[in-house]
């Protein structure tokens, strides 16, 4: 059994605009998806999802379309879990040059699904790492990030940037602008996350922004203005002392930019009443700034507040189901446990010894 984990993330600035080549700054947080992989003797994939905001289930299927899973749980939930795992497995098969490698995959995640905290990117990144390691191939995090991006790009029909997957693979704060992905230094930012218990449909939300942008020049300008906010924000971060806690002045300036960024995301139609409620509750409680994080439509907001006030305020906000402080995850993808490799399946069968009849 090989076990890898990868962190979720919050966007300090720049979601959506990053899809159109503007820069974004996501920050990895200490909420992780943990994926355990055991190579199989056949070419099947069995996915067991233990949490992921859904009731646990197990599905097993082979490679041909008529072997797709037939299970008694709502199809979109199965697709959400298996679509990303399938794409990750394809990347792992390609990386180990074995198109017929089969795996038992178990996912445990404390990142709510579709809530703007990068759950799918974390699952894909950890799956690629665990699956390749389980067959004796160790990829570096930059290659995992690239393969995870290809997997997300495929599942999201081309509507994905490199931001979520690069951030999850590398950890820390990152800056992504098109193909240019790099890690950056930041002080220890005091993130508070509020979660409304819901989720957004990333594909539909990205498509909505694209439509607005194509229809109205001012919507295209709005996307570019988000890029200006990010550029302003990264200058502040570059000038800040990356060791230790940020000073009040920096938090106030970053907070202003977050507020502005949220306003523009709201204008682009990707906020929701509950996200706006939580953003306002955080501001009223004294947060330096607050914005939705990720695709929007429902899910999470992120606020900056070193004091307990925002957590308390959000806890008493109707529609806010969970509140937590999110520490920056300095480590990206990492192996948690590794057993001897080279064998495929518990029976110790080497590559080439696969039970071809097992379907």
Candidate residues 161, 222, 261, 274; the one interacting with ligand MEV per rule CB under 6 A: 161
Question: Toward ligand MEV, which CB reaches closer, 8 or 187?
Answer: 8
Show the binding pattern over residues 195-214: x = contacts ligand MEV (CB under 6 A), - = does not.
-------x---x--------
Interface with ligand MEV in residues 7-66 (CB under 6 A):
15-16, 18-19
136/263 with CB nearer ligand MEV: 263
| C-alpha distance from residue 188 to each of 70, 119, 164, 196, 238 (Å) | 46, 22, 20, 25, 13
Residue 185 CA from chain centroid, whole number:
20
Q: Of the candidates 43, 104, 146, 164, which one interacts with ligand MEV according to CB under 6 A?
A: 164
First to last CA, the chain: 22
The angle formed by the CA atoms of residues 31, 80 and 322, to the nearest 5 degrees, is: 40
- Shortest Å, Cβ 295 to ligand MEV: 4
Distance in angstroms (rounded) separating the CA atoms of residues 48 and 56? 7
Residue 114 makes contact with ligand MEV by CB under 6 A: no
Give the binding range for ligand MEV (CB under 6 A) out of 33-41, 63-71, 156-164, 327-335. Answer: 156-164
> Which of these is catalytic: 164, 196, 259, 305?
164
Contact between residue 35 and residue 125 where contact means Cβ atoms under 8 Å apart: no
Around 339, how many Cα atoms within 13 Å sit in the side-chain half-sphere? 11
Task: Specify the residue, 135 or 155, whose C-beta has the smaller distance to ligand MEV.
Answer: 155
Residue 351: DSSP 8-state: T
CA dist 199 and 235 (Å) reads: 32
Per the annotation, the verdict on 164 as an active-site residue is: yes
Give the interface size with ligand MEV as a residue count (CB under 6 A): 12
Nearest Cα neighbor of 112 from 8, 14, 6 is 8
Indicate whether 227 belongs to the interface with ligand MEV (CB under 6 A). Answer: no
Tell me whether residue 157 or residue 339 sits nearer to ligand MEV (CB atom). 157
Stretch that binds ligand MEV, among 81-89, 157-165, 186-194, 211-219 (CB under 6 A): 157-165
DSSP helix/strand/coil, 336? strand
Closest CB 301 distance from ligand MEV, rounded Å: 14
**Does 285 participate in binding ligand MEV (rule CB under 6 A)?**
no
**Contact, 187 vs 310, CB < 8 A?**
no
The per-type count for the chain, helices as H runs and strands as E runs, is 9, 12
Residue among 101, 128, 160, 302 that touches ligand MEV (CB under 6 A): 160
The number of beta carbons lying within 10 Å of the beta carbon of residue 235 is: 11
Using CB under 6 A as the binding rule, whether residue 326 contacts ligand MEV is answered as no
Q: Does residue 264 belong to the site contacting ligand MEV (CB under 6 A)? A: no
Is beta strand 289-292 parallel, antiparallel or unpaired with respect to 300-304? antiparallel
Token pair in block for residue 151: 């997997």
Q: Which range of residues in 29-37, 161-169, 220-228, 278-286 is near ligand MEV by CB under 6 A?
A: 161-169
Is-contact 320 278, C-beta < 8 A?
A: yes
Q: Which 295-324 positions form the footprint of ligand MEV (CB under 6 A)?
A: 295
Taking only Cα atoms into account, the Rg of the chain, rounded to an integer number of angstroms, comes to: 20
Q: Whole-number minimum distance, CB 57 to ligand MEV, in Å? A: 24
- List residues near ligand MEV by CB under 6 A: 15-16, 18-19, 160-161, 163-164, 202, 206, 294-295
Provide the annotated active-site residues. 164
């Amino acid at each position: 059994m090989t076990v890898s984990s990868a962190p979720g993330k919050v966007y300090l600035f720049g979601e959506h605009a990053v899809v159109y080549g503007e820069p974004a700054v996501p920050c990895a947080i200490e909420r992780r998806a943990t994926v355990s992989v055991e190579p199989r003797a056949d070419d099947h994939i069995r996915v067991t999802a233990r949490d992921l905001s859904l009731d646990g289930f197990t599905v097993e299927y082979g490679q041909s379309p008529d072997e797709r899973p037939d299970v008694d749980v709502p199809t979109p939930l199965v697709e959400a879990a298996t679509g990303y795992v399938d794409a990750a497995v394809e990347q792992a098969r390609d990386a180990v040059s074995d198109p017929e490698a089969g795996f038992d995959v178990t996912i445990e995640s404390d990142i709510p699904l579709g809530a703007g905290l990068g759950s799918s990117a974390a699952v894909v990144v950890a799956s690629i790492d665990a699956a390749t390691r389980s067959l004796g191939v160790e990829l570096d995090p930059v290659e995992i990030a690239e393969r995870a991006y290809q997997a997300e790009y495929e599942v999201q029909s081309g509507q994905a940037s490199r931001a979520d997957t690069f951030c999850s693979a590398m950890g820390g704060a990152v800056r992504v602008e098109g193909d240019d992905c790099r890690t950056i230094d930041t002080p220890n930012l005091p993130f508070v996350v509020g979660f409304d218990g819901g989720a957004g449909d990333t594909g539909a939300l990205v498509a909505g922004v694209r439509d607005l942008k194509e229809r109205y020049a001012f919507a295209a300008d709005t996307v570019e203005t988000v890029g200006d906010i990010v550029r302003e924000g990264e200058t502040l971060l570059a000038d800040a002392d990356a060791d230790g806690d940020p000073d009040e002045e920096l938090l106030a300036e970053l907070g202003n930019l977050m507020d502005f960024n949220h306003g523009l995301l709201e204008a682009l139609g990707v906020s929701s009443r509950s996200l706006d409620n939580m953003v306002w509750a955080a501001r009223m409680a004294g947060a330096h700034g607050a914005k939705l994080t990720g695709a929007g439509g429902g899910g999470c907001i992120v606020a900056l507040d070193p004091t307990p006030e925002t957590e308390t305020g959000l806890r008493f906000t109707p529609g806010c189901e969970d509140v937590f402080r999110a520490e920056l995850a300095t480590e990206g993808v990492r192996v948690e446990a590794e057993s001897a490799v080279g064998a495929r399946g518990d029976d110790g069968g080497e590559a080439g010894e696969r039970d071809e009849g097992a379907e």
